[in-house]
Amino acid sequence: MERLACYDCGETYAFGDAARCRCGEPLWFETDTTEFDWPDASEASGPTGSGVSLGRDTLWRYESVLPATEPTGLAAAAGGTPLFRAPSIEPADGPRIHLKVEGVNPTGSFKDRGTAVGICRIDGPVGTVSHGNMALSVAAHAAAADREAVVLVAEDTPDSRLAMIAQHDPHLFRVRGDYGRLYDDTLDGDLGAAFLNSDAPLRVAGQKTVAYEICEAFAPDAPDAIVLPVSSGGQASGVWKALRELDAAGLLSSVPRIYLAQAARCDPIARAYRRGDSCVEPVEGEPTVAVSINNADPPSGNRALAAVTETDGGVVSVAEETMIAETERLAADAGVSVEPSCAVATAAVRELAASGELDAADDVAVILTGSGYKYGASEADTSSVREVDRADVPAAVRDAMR
Amino acid sequence: MERLACYDCGETYAFGDAARCRCGEPLWFETDTTEFDWPDASEASGPTGSGVSLGRDTLWRYESVLPATEPTGLAAAAGGTPLFRAPSIEPADGPRIHLKVEGVNPTGSFKDRGTAVGICRIDGPVGTVSHGNMALSVAAHAAAADREAVVLVAEDTPDSRLAMIAQHDPHLFRVRGDYGRLYDDTLDGDLGAAFLNSDAPLRVAGQKTVAYEICEAFAPDAPDAIVLPVSSGGQASGVWKALRELDAAGLLSSVPRIYLAQAARCDPIARAYRRGDSCVEPVEGEPTVAVSINNADPPSGNRALAAVTETDGGVVSVAEETMIAETERLAADAGVSVEPSCAVATAAVRELAASGELDAADDVAVILTGSGYKYGASEADTSSVREVDRADVPAAVRDAMR
């Protein structure tokens, strides 16, 4: 479990010797899953049941293929998120959509998986370069584990997000200057903290468990596709790593195609995909409502691109108004509140169905990366609220439901 | 499963015939648990392990003692929340504190339990009188189940909360007039919707499952006490009902004491307890930071009081500054973000430890009813944030961690 390897050039390192491969690509923990089988294989119910019971057992059910041992406390509660079908948002003649609701993780996002595994594996102070879900996750888990945490946020991070992070009492710095370069600054490790950035090997090892849960819920079959938002590429890297491991273990009837979704206003990976390139070039991104995935120079972009091409998937760019409409659809029709950065994934499914890439024969698992409740208060739309006197309530209600 | 009974006078009714007992008290679903045993009894790990795996299996593991059958979709994801010990917040020489984190339910609060069971059991439109967690839960689950929902909120409900509820597209009414009386207005059912109010029998039947999960995690032992915030008394009613059922089933080595926590500025149940009365009288409540439990005339107050007296527990009133400090403590020391309405419970444990009512020999399970992230953005405290140039980050970080 202790060796790190570069998917791209094959170079290997001992854990702790390198943050990235000397070829520039991120590293993966090597995992031998050839002997791995589903825990309690007999329990497999498949998505026809509630689709929940298996997953709700937390990510630690996969401890045997993780570079950390099951802890107690908050980190023990990561993962094990619900997976259920949502017919109400399925396009006509389109695929069956199964929602993987990551917002029910302890800090409301998928980031808790990588944070939980990382913080259990390393000692001492931890850190991260993030102003969103990852910053909140690292700050909270560090507080729970009684560790010092360093959180470096961008200069333009709104106070409401900072306050949410600050409650967990990390060393919180709002950094002036090129925020993109900060990621590189933290790699050499002389900051006195182990940085659990988006594609750090330990984080990717934890993030992969969402794909383990999805595939186990479908066992002995497998979903036809897994669709997720992409920003740095760290989660896409984790999903692909999991599929490679499960395939090696002989646990996939077929390897799901990986589809990634980006905001059209900042879509470096989608552009490289359309060009047919294997390398992602930085773009001049524009501001987008999908703030959590607004990454113009993704550090694991090449890895994410490889995940897509090697599984015959694709990358979709989604327009602003489409993301906003999809966010509203998920809340109003599926009862799930998400950020636009997350709704971009089901919007992508809609576009892939329209183009015929996904059809009625497909089971698609969509990773809804984070809860919309955390940031909901910032965009208050109360236009649908009706004012009424108590005495007039019966008439008003009857009228509304006519 | 179909009979409703009044704990107080013993009167029984068929489900659907009455919303409350003619004696004025709320009704309970009758449940025969004499033959009930823990599902997969062999799996019981107790709180010495992660304390999570059992609970994470959702509330539907108790389907055999619920008045509803397991659904698919969002309602299937309710319950199964983490339970873990938090030594970092335990008072010196005080009890062992085990946190039951209800904030990881689909809409971020314990209310999803009662909503999930209720919406699966009844057909047609649903409704609720709430401006907080219950309103959000009913709106979201109704959206997921493709039902019409009626939500009646108080005139002074802030827009940020309304917006969060409105995204799930219920019929949302801001009602002018006596909000307390609205609860009674909805009981006669002529509003064309089934109201899942805080102490409706179906909701209480769902809310009871949190106590099932806590006790199963401790099996074959039992916690010495269960501490929770109290507002209407519906959740206290559910916890007590569960303990009575588990005791009847012979699954409790001893019956945990039930302790309830209120804000001192609005503590009708605590006052009745201190008076030694069995009836709760309405109070003139003052505004409190514990907005979610600010109930001056709790409809299940007598039931909550009986739960406390019959289990040799108690009711604690907590001061504003104590709740605020405890909210900060839970986030900074335990990594759990909660509302003050929720931190009131661990604050109560601290006071019970100081008075000697709880001591180092006790295992106490505290129900943290809701997530603090939903409303975090409204109180932005960024005083701890430091501004720094990128070039100065290494020095600033080293200095901070010195």
- HEC per residue, A332-358: HHCCCCECHHHHHHHHHHHHHHHCCCC
Task: Answer whether A166 sits within 8 Å of B80, measured CB to CB.
Answer: no
In a domain, B76, yes or no: yes
In DSSP notation, B48-69 reads: TS-S-TTGGG-GGGGGGGSSS-
Same domain, A56 and A26: no
| Pair of tokens at residue B226 | 């269960």
The residue segments making up the domain with residue B148 are 123-195+376-400
DSSP state string for A264-297: TTS-HHHHHHHHT-SSPPP--PPP-S-GGG--SS
Same domain, A166 and A138: yes
**pTM for the structure as a whole:** 0.92
In angstroms, the CA B294 to CA B157 distance is 13
Distances (CA, A) of B204 to A350, B170, B197, B230, B368: 39, 23, 9, 14, 17
Question: In terms of domains, do A292 and A342 share one?
Answer: yes
Q: Which of A277, A386, A62, A401 is nearest to B165 (CA)?
A: A386
Residue that the structure tokens 């120079």 belong to: A297
Q: Quick count: other Cβ atoms within 10 Å of Cβ B400?
A: 18
Complete edge-to-edge strand list for the sheet that includes strand A126-129 = A194-195, A126-129, A149-154, A171-176, B386-389
Same domain for A235 and A254?
yes
* Cβ B348 vs Cβ B269: under 8 Å: no
**B357 and B266: one domain?**
yes
- Three-state SS for A81? coil
Pairing of strands B194-195, B171-176: unpaired
- Cα separation, B133 vs B370, in Å, equals 8
Nearest chain B residue to A139, by CA: B335
Question: Cβ A386–B173 below 8 Å, yes or no?
Answer: yes
CA distances from B275 to B199, B271, B280, B312, B387 (A): 24, 6, 10, 15, 54
Query: Could you tell me if B170 and B189 lie in one domain?
Result: yes
Nearest to B385 among A127, A172, A381 (CB): A172
Give the contacts of B276 (CB within 8 A, at least 6 positions apart): none
In a domain, A200, yes or no: no
Nearest CA among B240, B220, B222, B242 for reference residue B230: B240
- Identity of the residue in A52, A105, A182 whose CB atom sits nearest the CB atom of B390: A182
In a mutational test of the B interface, the residue from A74, A101, A131, A191 whose CB has the highest number of chain B CBs within 10 Å is A74
DSSP code per residue over A144-175: HTT--EEEEEETT--HHHHHHHHTT--EEEEE
Inter-residue contact A201 to A29 (CB < 8 Å):
yes
- CA atoms of A139 and A133, how far apart (whole Å): 10
Nearest to A57 among B56, B379, B391 (CB): B56
Strand boundaries in B130-283, DSSP class E: 149-154, 171-176, 194-195, 225-229, 257-263
Nearest beta carbon to residue A58 from set B52, B144, B336: B52
Question: Do A109 and A234 form a contact (C-beta atoms < 8 A)?
Answer: no
List the end-to-end C-alpha distance of chain A, in Å, as a whole number: 62
| DSSP code per residue over B260-296 | EEEETTS-HHHHHHHHT-SSPPP--PPP-S-GGG--S
B31 to chain A, minimum CA–CA distance in Å?
Answer: 24
Q: The dihedral of CA B37, B40, B46, B51: what is its sign?
A: negative
Question: How is residue A331 written in tokens?
Answer: 């809340």
Asked whether the CA dihedral A115, A121, A124, A127 is positive or negative, the reply is: negative
Contacts of A346 (CB under 8 A, 6+ apart): A89, A97, A99, A227, A326, A329, A330, A366, A368
Asked if A335 and B190 come within 8 Å (Cβ–Cβ), the reply is no
Domain CATH for B160: 3.40.50.1100
Residue A116 lies in a domain: no
Cis peptide before A220 (omega within 30 of 0): yes
- Axis crossing angle, helix B179-187 with helix A393-400, rounded to the nearest 10: 60
Number of domains chain A contains: 3
> What is the rounded distance in angstroms from the CA atom of residue B236 to the CA atom of residue B298?
12
Closest-CA distance of chain B to residue A10, Å: 32
Query: Which chain B residue has the Cα nearest residue A393?
Result: B175
Cβ B200 vs Cβ B166: under 8 Å: no
Q: Are residues B390 and B344 in the same domain?
A: no
* Three-state DSSP state, B337: coil
Cross-strand partners of B315: B260
β-bridge pairing B28-29 and B96-101: unpaired
B387/A176 Cβ within 8 A? yes
Residue A295: CB partners within 8 Å, gap ≥ 6?
A231, A232, A266, A268, A285
Report if residue B348 sits inside a domain: yes
Nearest to B159 among A192, A380, A397 (CB): A380
Residue B17, in any domain of the structure: yes
The burial of B250, by beta-carbon neighbours within 10 Å (0-12 exposed, 13-18 middle, 19 or more buried), is given as exposed
Please indicate, yes or no, if residue B276 is contained in any of the structural domains. yes
| B15-27 burial: b if 16+ Cβ within 10 Å, else e | beebbbbeeebbb
Task: Kindly determine whether residue A393 and residue B172, on different chains, have CB atoms separated by under 8 Å.
Answer: no
Q: How many CB atoms lie within 10 A of CB A186?
A: 24
Give the whole-angstrom CA distance, residue A118 versus residue A126: 9
Q: Do B398 and A80 touch (CB under 8 A)?
A: no
Q: Which one-letter DSSP state was computed for residue B256?
A: P
Residues in B closer than 8 angstroms to A376, CB to CB, are 160, 163-164, 167, 374
- At position A335, the amino acid (one-letter code) is G
**Residue ranges of chain B with pLDDT lower than 70?**
1, 40-56, 189, 376-380
Which residue stretches of chain A have pLDDT < 50? 42-56, 377
Both B96 and B163 in one domain: the answer is no
CA A293 and chain centroid, separation: 10
Q: Looking at the DSSP assignment, which residues form a beta bridge with residue A26?
A: A20
B149-154: strand order across its sheet: A386-389, B171-176, B149-154, B126-129, B194-195
Which residues of B fall within a CB distance of 8 Å from A185? 390, 393-394
* ipTM score of complex: 0.91
Report the gap between the CA of B85 and the closest CA in chain A (Å). Answer: 6
Strands A386-389 and B3-5, by their bridges, are unpaired
Q: How many Å is the Cα radius of gyration of chain A?
A: 21
A106–B336 CB contact, under 8 Å: yes
Do A386 and A344 sit in the same domain of this protein? no
Contacts of A172 (CB under 8 A, 6+ apart): A139, A151, A153, A162, A165, A166, B384, B385, B386
> How far apart, in whole angstroms, are the C-alpha atoms of residue B234 and residue B307?
11
Q: Closest partner residue to A174 among B161, B332, B387, by Cβ? A: B387
Asked if the structure places residue A114 within a domain, the reply is no
Q: E-assigned strands of A301-400?
A: 314-318, 363-368, 386-389
Same domain, A84 and A139: no
B115 inside domain: no
**B178 and B290, same domain (yes or no):** no
CB spacing of B332 vs A148 below 8 angstroms: no
Q: Is B33 left (phi over 0), alpha (psi -120 to 50) or beta?
A: alpha
* Contact across the interface for A173 and B385, Cβ inside 8 Å: yes
d(CA A226, CA A165): 30
What pLDDT shows up at residue A190? 78
The candidate with the shortest Cα–Cα distance to B42, out of B31, B56, B53, B58, is B53
Count of pairs with CB atoms under 8 A, one residue in A, one in B: 341
- Tell me the β-bridge partners of B154: B175
Question: Which H or E element spans position B297?
Answer: none
Strand order of the β-sheet with B12-14 is B12-14, B3-5, B28-29
Residues B272 and B341 in one domain: yes
